[in-house]
Structure 1
């Protein structure tokens, strides 16, 4: 088994169905290596699948309580009540008590709990109460925020959830689903097609499969036509596997080797099928794998790794500084119990217990705002990558263009109008059952051809050779009045020419000479330069000697002409490209289309073609050569899916945060390789499954709005981390100075805890804050290594004014003995709380706060309330309880002077720091 592929598929499937909780994704590779038995299917499940494969279809349907026309809704509901939803273990939401426990058990809360227990054992009930309140506040806030964000995420995911086409016997006609996409294989017998969320499927459901569909459960094929399924993650086979209604191989005990079984999590590459659901949820092959890795460790994303790194920097800082504070106060004051309680309070003050709450709240708020802008976030921490993205790779069709294709020309090989070419193309598009794209839709809009050819009576489909992205062509074989067989092939010009030996000109057929080949290429190039996408059409007549055809039959064809399509550029594309450029996002076009058409469209939307690389050139390059070329080139044409994935991977290795936007089967590999995969709600299932973000509207303008919101979300998280780090560093520095020189504690443990609790409350509104426009102009990277430097530069500034406050209380107000320590402590409490709260407004912006950049009203209101409470607390009726005393009125002018000086020095430091190191 290819474990790396299995890991990738499982992780992506988990993401697609909401099985992740915020910053986590499943990492099953290590578990599989540690427990080789996990690779094997449980014998009972394997035998059940083999039995389903061997059982005749009628008998199997009867055993499952089903029929060819499907279950009724009542029958499906009864089975669902018995077997549950079609969800594997990790998809199921956590019970509320486990969720509450997970919200509690972060390093900060566990540390605070230990400190609360120590306070309780030392009979310091006030400290116990305050610390307990801080733990409860942090846990409950996070629980409420995550519950709300989970509910919001569930609603959002319902908007883009993958569905399956199911037959129901008792569904009104007005509810039935798309019919033409799935051919009637003689098994539906009147059952109506409906679209159901995958989790609603039950054993016995009859499902219809077509190219691009995810296999929604473990199924037995009842009828198939050229069905090719990608199950590389399960078996390691790199190429799609053809599936049949009957097993074509020798008997085996391994269900993965059986031809008429398909498995949850794989996907249809081409063709179509009717199948019956055999097993769902944890009883599927995929579910069995999930059940075996329930205890697996979880791999942190780059974002979560950064948050964890910051957390442990602060915790280590606390573990070093707390013993120093204890020793200093114990030695200088002689009261070791009091010194111990004070050191505990310092430990609490250094613990950023609100960090998980702020991060969760900010991400959840960002996801909800993005949803209003038609951007659905499937994975919350993808928002950070959205804001950090500096390269966007996107397809041309539907992104730069309107995604509404018109058939504008149908010509013979020399460019002359030809109705027979349109007729050949119509028959090909009408009878194919594989992946119908917009080109087929445009051809089939010519319904007059259907009538003129009398398709329903004159032709019968014999066989089909499905499209694939290597050949870039597909063929159908039809019988005309059962007199002869006609193979009609359409596809990319070069790929069709590769299998042609003749050309048709009027009624004459000529050999394909080098002169004719040169003339053909001139004609198609002229069409391409008009911005038309050219598809070649070829054919050959065959005797009606066989009913099954293969790739070998695509040879010795006659080129009959071309059909040319126009996909006009969107009016919104040019301003969107300009906006993305202004926000520091380089756009690169990755398309399978012709280079001439691509260049024409790029010119029309105002995207200068700096350099263009073709798939054939990329094929000949090493990764080292490609790494240099991808930086200069901004247009890549005639690409295969493997080329797209390779370009994305090389850009990532070059240090870029790469977004990839795609909606087709050929985009799935690149979507997985990108830092942030972006798809659209109308995409095929496999593309939506691989994406991190879904757009409800395929537009670069919508994407640009999402990038901006991602940067706002990241900016607000960074604000809190900067504030907390610098404030904590400054507080410890001040405490060390005070502990060394004062004959009493600069603040009682209880007072420190109250100050810290009030400061934490003032931070709750940060997720709702505004972000300066210049912060949104360029991608923002998570760089925890810069935090240490920021702490060193900005932390001591508050200490300078803390020490000035010490001097003020000592020399001006005579609070210079243990008998007057209450006045001293009250004075530092007010100054410390106000300076901490002011730092929120100072560090939230590079500009002058309140004048050039004003915080959002929730943050302004919250900080104003906390500052008012801090000033009034020493004068209130509860002052004695907290061992405060009222401050003299003469104190407040001094306080205002200290705070204004603090603001001025911090602003000056901001200017110097941002000029030297930048302001992230």
Structure 2
């Protein structure tokens, strides 16, 4: 298996291998930490080696931290930043540089087939066979240069993609002044003194950050370096990619108390994490490879991703063809050596047969076919980062996708506002509006939905009557937030909204509508049961329920805390819906018709996810929760992933494990994700799919990036991938069957003829012309029936195809031997040129004709016609084959003009060959099918 893996990397992925070997360390880090169950432990082990300066700075106050990095209370000037950039370098972790042209050219040349051809050319040169040397050299140059051009285009496209998704950070720059020599330490500690210089925030590329810079962070930002917080307001950081913690961690600017690991320091944030909510200013301590991220990456062994289905398939097919050549060439050598007695000539002929057996155009055909698919996908708003992802698209039979933004619009709409018992209520809407309007933390999608609600525009006049007194910000432990407002001078109102259970825990009364108006009654067990029934029913309908409560407080209090969130009155609920996209249902139907199962992997509630699935046509009442998956053995999960299509409340590790298990079951798995925690699953899948609006880490881990978040684009990608696969399969089938037939014919001719059936140079020229005719295959059309189901590599099927169709050409080759020997009397050594010319033309024309015969399971030229580039190319090569023996170059190649009486025989042979191939094709389809 190791031999096969190495062969694959050399055969097809020379350039891609180099890209993977040089891949950004961040991707490797995310993959390794994400795929291990004990990701947190591995991170903690490395944390012990983090620079001591970071640990010391965590114990410093703000002023001391600024002094330690020789910064300033107002940030660095542009000149100071430029000086430090010269000393510390750019803020990049092992930047992936474009390959030099000469190294790229070497990688395009370096594959087993080209190396084998070079050996053959060298032997020919040593034996003074300069003609064969020139022909073989042409083959090698053609294959290498076409691949070089195609991959060069792909590389430039990837560089343009990196430029498209470059990110910036807001940096606080201090304006330069004449007093450049003021002592830095005095500037730092006199932050509130006189003479502070003007500061201004500017947007800079993340790569331009330097130690000592001051930056601002807000919700959704990726932390661009290792930093010490200077200020923080309700700041929550997602550290899951580092520690495996599923919940964000709150961070503060205060001096850190003793901590166990570097991630426990509450005033430190690290490159690769991201801001969930809140805002902060931070002091950059380390950049680039000196960050924790860069330090860990340098320690990790660079390992490639698990071979995809495409890589394994190409490898298996290539190894099959090479083994066939290694067996057949020695047989040809010994038969010719013993029957002719000229071992030198036999060796040259065997070398020519080896060239004919070698699918030297396979790397070029594969690469150009994939590149053409990538170009077509780019027109459909899809950026292909790895060429082999195109074929994986076609082979994909399971697509794992998130719910939000993929199945749904990713736009929360306020669907209902009800009292505690489910009846419509405008009062709860007013309270919710005041809460969302006055809170200053992260306004999430739910808040925006409330503020944008058309019925609430009139409330804009109402808020003018209120003034804000205080707020108690949201956190992930309480799962609620409160604002305190005042409309009159006689009392304050605390308005709280949040998750239902957390809200019920602080409510002791409930607002009830009576004939005499609203009343506040005690929330007893009976009412509590009714409340839970109402919220359960709302949840079952796919609504996200937020409870709203309030209480009056004395005007004497001006500062409020979490302790004041008690004794509230439950007012009612606001319920939200993330509507499904209109394109989702038809897209899922189209994917199902293409044989692709869709499995929903979400961290959301199972009830909401199930409701959305029902709306889009995925009837899934059964679901599997992350908590259940954690308790399952690998064997139990392998069975469960086949029977469930909805997985809810998942952690990143759960997603990665599901993808890994599906692949272990033999599926070709696509994973679509756009979050930082999707990176492990994206790397584990055969094809990782992200969107341009996704976080940077997800886009880096993905193989394909969608410029539009739509499943319909995926369906188009599936079709394009299958077309690409079908065209590659055409070449391999044609080459394998044709080579097998040629070798069989050569063996027969060598055993019974007093001369070689074809000179080594003639065999090489025939092979070169045939290969040139195949260049147009990437532009060929594909029958719709061939893209209806997932397509996978099957070396055994290709071997069977080769043995089934190869001998058909040998039948007509032997028929040509007989005709040339008896009809045209080319039966002596002196007349061998006529014999060889006759077989040369028949061999080339039947080889080229087979392109049309087996490119489709239908009747060629009538039910299915090749695209015009392939049609013109094959006609052109067939014309050259007929005219070459009559051209001035005939003597050079050892050929001679054929008599006119030869051509009726030629037409009869070609017609009989087409008829027999068609009959055998029908028999093959009945017995084995036609992938």
Q: Secondary structure at the match of 2:399?
A: strand
2:416 is equivalent to residue 412 of structure 1 = no
Q: 1:465 and 2:488 equivalent?
A: no
- Residues in 2 aligned to 1:127 and 1:747: alpha-carbon distance in whole angstroms: 13
Alpha-carbon distance in 2 for matches of 1:73, 1:38: 35
Among candidates 100, 106, 121, match of residue 95 of structure 1: 100
Could you say which residue in structure 2 is the equivalent of 1:10?
none
How many residue pairs align between the two structures?
Answer: 876
Residue 378 (str. 1) matches residue 385 (str. 2): yes
Residue matched to 2:868? 857
Q: 1:388 aligns with which of 389, 395, 410?
A: 395
Given candidates 151, 155, 161, the residue that maps to 1:156 is 161
| 2:781 alignment partner, one of 766, 770, 773 | 770
Name the counterpart of 1:475: 480
Give the unaligned 5+ runs of structure 1.
Answer: 1-14, 172-185
Cα distance between partner residues in 2 of 1:807 and 1:630: 61
Mapped to 2, the partners of 1:362 and 1:248 lie a distance apart of: 57
Instruction: Identify which range, 901-910 or 77-86, moves more after superposition.
Output: 77-86
Following superposition, the deviation at residue 801 of structure 1 comes to: 1.8
1:123 aligns with 2:128: yes
Compute the TM-score of the two structures, normalised by the length of structure 1. Answer: 0.84
Distance in 1 between residues matched to 2:254 and 2:163, nearest whole Å: 36
CA positional deviation for 1:537: 3.3
Match of 2:732 in 1: 721
Check the 8 A contact 2:471/2:560 in 1, yes or no: no
Q: 1:133 to 1:71 in 2, by over 3 A?
A: farther
Q: Determine if the alignment matches structure 1 residue 215 to structure 2 residue 220.
A: no
Q: 1:465 to 1:60 in 2, by over 3 A?
A: same
Q: Give the C-alpha shift of residue 721 in structure 1.
A: 2.1
Pairs within 5 Å for 1:35-74: 46-47=51-52, 49-50=54-55, 53=58, 57=62
- Structure 2 unaligned residues grouped into runs of 5+: 1-15, 37-41, 176-191
Segment drifting more, 833-842 vs 219-228:
219-228
Secondary structure of the 1:885 match is coil
- Matched with 2:111 is 106
In structure 2, do the counterparts of structure 1 residues 542 and 81 end up closer, same or farther at CA, with 3 Å as the change threshold?
A: farther
1:51-110: CA deviation from partner (whole Å, max 9, x where unpaired): 665666567668878767767778767766775554333622222222112111111111
Match status 1:306 vs 2:305:
no
Among 881, 894, 903, the residue aligned to 2:914: 903
What's the offset of the Cα at 1:237?
6.0
Query: Does 1:317 pair with 2:324?
Result: yes
Alpha-carbon distance in structure 1 between the residues aligned to 2:354 and 2:91? 48
Does the alignment pair 1:140 with 2:148?
no
CA gap 1:538/1:738 in 2 versus in 1, 3 angstroms? farther
Give how far 1:413 is off: 0.8
Deviations 1:767-811 (A, max 9, x none): 222111011111112333322222221222222222222222212
- The 1:511/1:639 distance shift into structure 2, 3 A limit, reads farther
Conserved? CA contact 1:53–1:247, under 8 Å: yes
CA contact (8 A) 2:21 2:302 kept: no
Match of 1:830 in 2: 841
- TM-superposed CA distance for 1:146, in Å, is 0.6
SS at match of 1:899: helix
Q: Does structure 1 residue 615 correspond to structure 2 residue 625?
A: yes
Checking the alignment, whether the CA contact within 8 Å between 2:744 and 2:810 is kept in structure 1 is: yes
Provide the rounded CA distance (Å) in 2 between the counterparts of 1:19 and 1:213. Answer: 27
Aligned twin of 1:561: 572
Match of 1:281 among 264, 285, 288: 288
SS of the equivalent of 1:763 reads: helix
Residue 337 of structure 1 aligns with which residue? 344
Relative to structure 1, the CA distance from residue 463 to residue 147 in structure 2 (aligned partners, 3 Å threshold; closer, same or farther) is same
The residue number in structure 2 matching 1:326 is: 333
Instruction: Please list the CA deviations of residues 685-724 of structure 1 after superposition, one character each: whole Å capped at 9, or x if unmatched.
Output: 4544444332222222222112211222222222222222
Name 1:181's counterpart in structure 2: none
Preserved contact between residue 23 and residue 300 of structure 1 (Cα < 8 Å): no
Higher mean C-alpha displacement, 269-278 vs 494-503: 494-503
Q: CA deviation at 1:872?
A: 1.5
Mapped to 1, the partners of 2:368 and 2:700 lie a distance apart of 26
Contact 1:164 1:207 in 2 (8 A): no
**Contact 2:169–2:206 (CA under 8 A) maintained in structure 1:** no
Give the aligned partner of residue 747 of structure 2: 736
Structure 2 Cα separation of the partners of residues 848 and 74 of structure 1? 74
Partner SS, residue 458 of structure 1: strand
Paired with 2:823 and 2:840, the residues of 1 have a C-alpha distance of: 17
Question: Does the CA-based 8 Å contact 1:203-1:280 persist in structure 2?
Answer: yes
Deviations, residues 123-159 of structure 1 (Å, cap 9, x unaligned): 2111222222222212111111111111123223444
Distance 1:845 1:23 in 2: 42
Q: Aligned to 2:775, what secondary structure does the other structure show?
A: coil
2:889 equivalent to 1:878: yes
Could you tell me whether the CA contact under 8 Å between 1:72 and 1:168 is conserved in 2?
no
Matched with 1:6 is none
Q: Distance in 2 between matches of 1:502 and 1:301?
A: 59
Structure 1 residue 452 corresponds to structure 2 residue 459: no
Question: For 2:703, which of 692, 708, 728 is the aligned residue?
Answer: 692
Query: Normalized against structure 2, the TM-score is what?
Result: 0.83
Matched, 1:224 2:223: no
Give runs of aligned pairs for residues 640-789 of structure 1, distance below 5 A.
Answer: 647-664=658-675, 671-672=682-683, 674-789=685-800
SS in 1 for 2:151: helix
* C-alpha spacing 1:392/1:329, structure 2 compared with 1 (3 Å): same
The Cα offsets for residues 407-446 of structure 1, whole Å up to 9 and x where unpaired, read as 2432221234445533554465457777654323212325
Of 167, 180, 183, the match for 2:171: 167
**Distance of aligned partners of 1:498 and 1:677 in 2 relative to their CA distance in 1, 3 Å threshold:** farther
Match of residue 362 from structure 2: 355
The answer to whether the 8 Å contact 2:218/2:279 transfers is yes
CA contact 1:272–1:433 (8 Å) conserved in 2: no
Alpha-carbon spacing, 1:634–1:464, altered in 2? closer, same or farther (3 Å): closer
SS at match of 1:612: coil
Q: What is the alpha-carbon distance in structure 1 between the residues aligned to residue 358 and residue 506 of structure 2?
A: 71
Residues 148, 76 of structure 1: alpha-carbon distance in 2 compared, 3 angstrom cutoff: farther
- Whole-Å Cα distance in 2 between the matches of residues 234 and 604 of structure 1? 36
